[in-house]
Amino acid sequence: MDLNILWFILVAVLFIGFFFLEGFDFGVGMLLPFLGKNDNERRVIINSIGPVWDGNEVWLITAGGALFAAFPNWYATLFSGFYLALFVILVGLIVRGVAFEFRSSDRNPAWRNLWDWMIFVGSFLSALLWGVAVTNLLQGVPIDANMQYVGGFWNLLSPYTLVGGLTTLLVFTLHGALFLTLKIEGDMVERARRVATRVGLVTIPVVLVLALLTYVNTDLFTKAGAAVVFVGSAVFLVLAWLLLKSGRNGWAFIANGLTIVCFTAAMFWGLFPRVMVSNLNPDWSLTIYNASSSPYTLKVMTVVALTMVPIVLLYQAWTYWVFRHRVTDKHLHY
Rounded mean pLDDT of 32-60? 89
pLDDT at 331: 58
Rounded mean pLDDT of 198-204? 95
Counting residues of the chain whose pLDDT is more than 90, the rounded percentage is 70
Counting residues of the chain whose pLDDT is more than 70, the rounded percentage is 98
Rounded mean pLDDT of 57-61? 89
The domain ranges of the chain are: 15-192+272-296
pLDDT digits (tens, 9 = 90+) for 224-283: 999 999 999 999 999 999 999 998 999 999 999 999 999 999 999 999 999 999 999 999
- Contact call for residues 239 and 255 (beta carbons, < 8 A): yes
CA distance 116 to 42: 8
Whole-prediction pTM: 0.93
Complete DSSP assignment for 209-241: HHHHHHHHH-SGGGSHHHHHHHHHHHHHHHHHH
Spatial CB neighbours of 197, under 8 Å, sequence gap ≥ 6: 241, 244, 245
Long-range contact set of residues 152-155: C-beta below 8 Å, sequence gap at least 24: 153/84, 153/85
Q: Specify the DSSP element, H or E, that contains 276.
A: strand 274-276
Helices (H) then strands (E): counts for the chain? 11, 2
